Amino acid sequence: MAVQDWNSVPTGSLTLSGAEAALPDHIRDFQATLRDFALKVMRPIGQQLDKMSPEEAIAEDSPYWEFRQRYLDLGVRVETLMEMEPNEAALLFSILFEELGYGDSGLAISVGAAILPQWISAKFGRMDLLEEFPDEKLGCWAITEPDHGSDMLDPNGKVSHPTGNYGRPNCVATLKDGSITLNGQKSAWVSNGVIAEVCILYCAADTGDGPDPEKGCVLVFPTDLPGVSRGKPLDKLGQRALCQGELFFDNVNIPEKYLLAGPEDYLRAVYCIHTEANALMGATFAGLAQAAAHLAHDYVHERKQGGVPIIQHQSVKSRLFHLFRKTEMARALTRRVLAFNNDPTNLEPSLCSAMFAKTTSTQTAFEVTSDALQLFGGNGLSREYPIEKMLRDARASMIEDGCNEVLSIKGGSYLYDPEKIDGGR
Ligand SMILES: Cc1cc2nc3c(=O)[nH]c(=O)nc-3n(C[C@H](O)[C@H](O)[C@H](O)COP(=O)(O)OP(=O)(O)OC[C@H]3O[C@@H](n4cnc5c(N)ncnc54)[C@H](O)[C@@H]3O)c2cc1C
């Protein structure tokens, strides 16, 4: 074990991302590049987009497109991540979304949604789809519907009400004699829905006996197929840099090569994307929490009351401590979950663990941004300062990718072991 130097006075300083043990040089450099990108590109563009109307935010001259191009210029590609050694890939994935979340969580989620068609296709071994839809093709994930939110993320009914009747799906793919026809619509919440070039769609499948909620299908297809149209971009409270909107399907003929998972694989496919997406949320919102903690750290050193910087107050020091403590906790948990879920010696990735990461990081981001805002006093409420936006962004995350309370019920159901009750009788 290396001997540490205890002769100089400890400064208590932390690294770029907090209590981070030494990283391999290339990963440390990657982290520093991303931090620079987060601060110089994402933060200002995210703030601009936040103040625009949803239509302006996706217009041709919107700064969103500058962000998109500069993100692509960083050269991070799904294929590269897939080819890496699993432990390293997990660490890089986590650092990528932590840093994007540090810059702007709405834009980070836009990147996450953009790669989901490619990411899940690769997880299912469909490298041909990755070739047809490289990372430059902006993606979206359409699963929720106007009448089906929480239940679409729960096709095996782990949280459904015993007396509930979940009714007809709003979107159905008819699979018949080797042809696929898509009809209906997805909800106004599809991230990137109004600008995406490729979509990974999860919907009910009708193979002849009517749609069955447990037997859906997954399609990956270009959004310029005849019969696909889009709704208006959604106006909302937080993550306004992330555009959202409906997709409509009118007798869309989907070539069979775009079928990623059929009815027999549907539950596995929902489990897979939900596990990936919840872990991605965990990393992104750990990053947002850290950004708010850092802004609060700067502010309490600058702001004076009675000629004294407010950091001199014990209560302020203690509140600052808890912002950093919670941020470290969210990041550490997410890294651990990603490492576990990427470990090839595991029988399967754990959705329950990904839900630990998602619910912890988003709850943490909400608490940290709210407590950071309190440290800013009245200035925290002003749109001249970045904290109120971060609080709004964090608030949205507690609903996104599954409401936290629903995720904890569903996660808890994976912990339920009937064998432990009266010996399984
Ligand atoms: C920022 C953001 C991004 C999103 N991105 C996408 C996307 O890319 N693609 C996509 O398809 N969708 C997306 N969504 C939709 C998101 O997945 C849904 O909003 C979420 O799953 C909840 O569904 P809902 O809004 O219909 O709420 P509902 O399901 O109607 O829930 C309303 C309330 O009822 C409670 N509730 C519902 N069912 C239960 C239950 N069984 N047990 C206990 N309580 C329950 C919930 O906790 C909640 O408080 C996004 C949402 C947001 C906010």
Q: Which CATH architecture has domain 25-138?
A: Orthogonal Bundle (1.10)
Testing ligand 1's pocket by substitution, the residue of 399, 408, 410 carrying the most ligand atoms inside 8 A of its CB is 399
Ligand 1: lining residues by beta carbon, under 6 Å: 113, 141-144, 149-150, 153, 159, 186-187, 189-191, 239, 396, 399-403, 405-406, 409
Three-class DSSP category at 367: helix
Question: What pLDDT is stored for residue 178 in this prediction?
Answer: 87
CA angle 411-414-415, nearest 5°?
100
**Cα 405 to ligand 1 centre (Å):** 10
The SS3 assignment for 405 reads helix
Determine the residue of 150, 186, 358, 363 to mutate for testing ligand 1's pocket, defined as the one with the most ligand atoms within 8 A of the Cβ atom. 150
- Protein residue whose Cα sits closest to atom 30 of ligand 1: 149
Using CA atoms, how far residue 264 sits from 171, 207, 271, 382, in Å, is: 18, 11, 13, 52
pLDDT at 425: 61
- The structure's pTM equals 0.96
| Ligand 1 atom, smallest distance to 106 CA | 1
State pLDDT tens for residues 159-184.
999 898 888 999 999 999 889 999 99
pLDDT digit string (tens) for 211-248? 887 889 999 999 999 999 999 999 999 999 999 999 99
Distance 331 CA to ligand 1 centre (A): 24
Q: Which atom of ligand 1 is nearest to the CA of 404?
A: 47
Ligand 1 centroid to residue 152 C-alpha, Å: 9
State the chain's mean pLDDT as an integer: 95
Nearest CA to ligand 1 atom 25: 149
- What mean pLDDT do residues 5-10 have? 61
Q: What is the mean pLDDT of residues 249-268?
A: 97
Q: Please tell me the residue having the least CA distance from ligand 1 atom 10.
A: 190
* Alpha helix stretches (DSSP H) within 38-166: 43-50, 54-58, 63-73, 78-83, 86-103, 105-123, 127-132
Its CATH class, for the domain covering 268-415, is mainly alpha
Please name the residue whose Cα sits nearest to atom 33 of ligand 1: 403
pLDDT, tens digit (0-9, with 9 covering 90-100), for 308-345? 999 999 999 999 999 999 999 999 999 999 999 999 99
Contact 243, 169 (CB under 8 A): no
In this structure, the residue with its CA closest to atom 51 of ligand 1 is 400
Ligand 1 closest atom vs CA 150? 29
Residue spans per domain, the chain: 25-138, 140-264, 268-415
Cα of 69 vs centre of ligand 1, distance in Å, is 30
Name which residue sits closest to atom 39 of ligand 1, judged by CA.
406
Q: Quick one: how far is CA 263 from the chain centroid?
A: 26
14 neighbors 95 (Cβ within 8 angstroms):
no
Residue closest via CA to ligand 1's atom 17 equals 401
Class of domain 140-264: mainly beta
Q: Does the structure show a pLDDT above 80 at 4? A: no
Percent helix, strand and coil across the chain, each to the nearest 5: 55, 15, 35
| Residue of minimum CA distance from atom 15 in ligand 1 | 189
In the chain, pLDDT over 70 holds for what percent of residues? Answer: 95
Q: What is the pLDDT of residues 199-211, one digit of tens each?
A: 999 999 999 988 8
